[in-house]
């Protein structure tokens, strides 16, 4: 099977969707049912080493250019299936699949699939042979407004990246961020005004109460974005600015060392499709706290990998963080290993064989 993969975020791009796409494309390349994957990304890096059977084209300067290139590719080459990596591209992918007479595989992640979209998106998904969702939560929200048959919407959760295991703290990182003798709360995620659902502000609001019980607590935030000034002002207003550490963007290869700096990972989100950072934190040996109103429930396996709280309750957030910092919430590093890449790749291979029949 030769697959045309239309991705918003390809190899070399940053963020959760980019990492999911990287894992999925790698798993596809390992499937015996796939002979070639041609990846057309909207955003990506150039000159990267690709898995076997996978060819990633250069990213496009504009969305219009990306659409034109996709249509040209489909017109010049034969493909046996079209993969659409984001709901926003579903109309384009569906048109190409229909014109070429091949099956469409569409992927949905989170909030982009939770609310009713225009009729063109509903029609595009209705013709998909397969729709994969990162979580049961997103699947349920999608089925509530689309005409897709439920048996064609399958859950394909994020996989745990390699390299996340309990490890010793790097002394130079402790010194760089002033975290010596601190009990560290960690959140990893973009600081985007469009992604305020992650809950950084709710941790900051709960911090005065946390400090009343754990006076040496500090809040380490890994990630960058345009919402940082607002969060800094919140911390000043709450009188906890001296307890916040903004680490900025951290490269993937250095992230495991940042998880090692922490005593608890907390991200009380309300709009997370899944949340790969939850798996990374759990595998790193940290107690994990997530919200009970979104795909975090799947990432934490209904509470088996960590503690679920009402993300809109500062009292619950405060109590869970204090319990973790005072040793009353266990870490569960071993349990999360069931979401390894080996299991993920096996699931993808089964989906490929189903797509071809």
Give pLDDT tens digits for 133-187.
999 999 999 999 999 999 999 999 999 888 899 999 999 999 999 999 999 999 9
Q: Domain 171-338's class?
A: alpha beta
Share of the chain above pLDDT 90, in %: 89
Ordered by start, the domain boundaries in the chain are 2-159+340-355, 171-338
Distance CA 106, CA 59 (A): 20
Write the CA distances from 48 to 10, 20, 54, integer angstroms.
11, 17, 11
Quick one: CATH architecture of 2-159+340-355?
Answer: 3-Layer(aba) Sandwich (3.40)
Distance CA 264, CA 206 (A): 15
| Residue 127 near residue 104 (C-beta atoms within 8 A) | yes
Reported as half-sphere exposure (CB side, CA atoms, 13 A), residue 91 has a value of 8
What is the model's pLDDT at position 259? Answer: 98
- Residue 209, number of CB atoms within 10 A of its CB: 16
pLDDT digits (tens, 9 = 90+) for 277-319: 999 999 999 999 999 999 999 999 999 889 999 999 999 999 9
Q: Name the average pLDDT for the chain.
A: 94
Mean pLDDT of 91-110: 97
pLDDT digits (tens, 9 = 90+) for 102-141: 999 999 999 999 999 999 999 999 999 999 999 999 999 9
What is the model's pLDDT at position 161? Answer: 82
Write the CA distances from 1 to 77, 102, 153, 247, 252, integer angstroms.
13, 11, 21, 44, 32
Distance CA 160, CA 125 (A): 28
Mean pLDDT of 91-101: 97
Distance CA 243, CA 252 (A): 25
β-pairing verdict for 307-309 and 130-133: unpaired
Give the start-end residues of each E strand in the chain: 2-9, 36-43, 54-56, 81-84, 104-108, 130-133, 153-155, 183-188, 217-222, 244-248, 264-267, 288-291, 307-309
DSSP structural state of residue 57? P
What is the model's pLDDT at position 332? Answer: 75
Fold match between domain 2-159+340-355 and domain 171-338: yes
Instruction: Answer yes or no: is pLDDT of 210 > 70.
Output: yes
Mean pLDDT of 204-209: 98
């Amino acid at each position: 099977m030769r697959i045309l993969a239309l991705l918003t975020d390809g190899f070399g791009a940053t963020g959760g969707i980019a990492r999911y796409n990287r894992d999925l494309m790698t798993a596809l390349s390992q499937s015996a049912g796939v002979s070639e994957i041609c990846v057309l990304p909207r955003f990506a890096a150039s000159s990267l080493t690709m898995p076997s059977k996978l060819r990633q084209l250069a990213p496009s300067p504009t969305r219009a250019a990306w659409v034109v290139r996709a249509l040209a590719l489909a017109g010049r080459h034969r493909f046996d299936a079209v993969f659409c990596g984001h709901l926003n591209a579903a109309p384009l992918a569906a048109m190409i699949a229909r014109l070429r007479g091949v099956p469409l595989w569409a992927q949905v992640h989170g909030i982009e699939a939770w609310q009713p979209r225009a009729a063109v998106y509903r029609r595009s998904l209705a013709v998909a042979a397969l729709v994969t969702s990162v979580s049961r939560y997103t699947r349920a929200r999608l089925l509530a407004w689309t005409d897709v048959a439920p048996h064609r919407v399958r859950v394909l959760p994020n996989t745990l990246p390699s390299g996340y295991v309990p490890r010793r703290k790097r002394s130079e990182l402790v010194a760089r961020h002033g975290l010596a003798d601190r009990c560290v709360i960690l959140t990893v995620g973009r600081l985007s005004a469009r992604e305020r659902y992650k809950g950084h502000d709710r941790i900051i609001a709960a911090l005065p109460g946390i400090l009343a019980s754990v006076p040496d607590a500090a809040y380490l935030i890994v990630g960058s974005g345009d919402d940082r000034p607002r969060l800094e002002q919140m911390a000043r207003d709450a009188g906890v600015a001296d307890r916040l550490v903004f680490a900025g963007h951290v490269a993937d290869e250095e992230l495991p060392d940042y998880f090692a700096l922490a005593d608890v990972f907390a991200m009380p989100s309300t709009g997370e499709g899944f949340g790969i950072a939850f798996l990374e934190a759990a595998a790193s040996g940290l107690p994990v706290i997530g919200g009970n109103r979104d795909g975090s429930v799947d990432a934490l396996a209904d509470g088996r990998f960590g503690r679920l709280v009402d993300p809109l309750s500062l009292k619950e957030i405060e109590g869970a963080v204090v319990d973790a910092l005072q040793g009353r919430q266990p870490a569960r590093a071993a349990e999360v290993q069931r979401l390894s890449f080996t299991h993920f790749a096996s699931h993808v291979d089964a989906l490929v064989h189903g797509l071809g029949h």
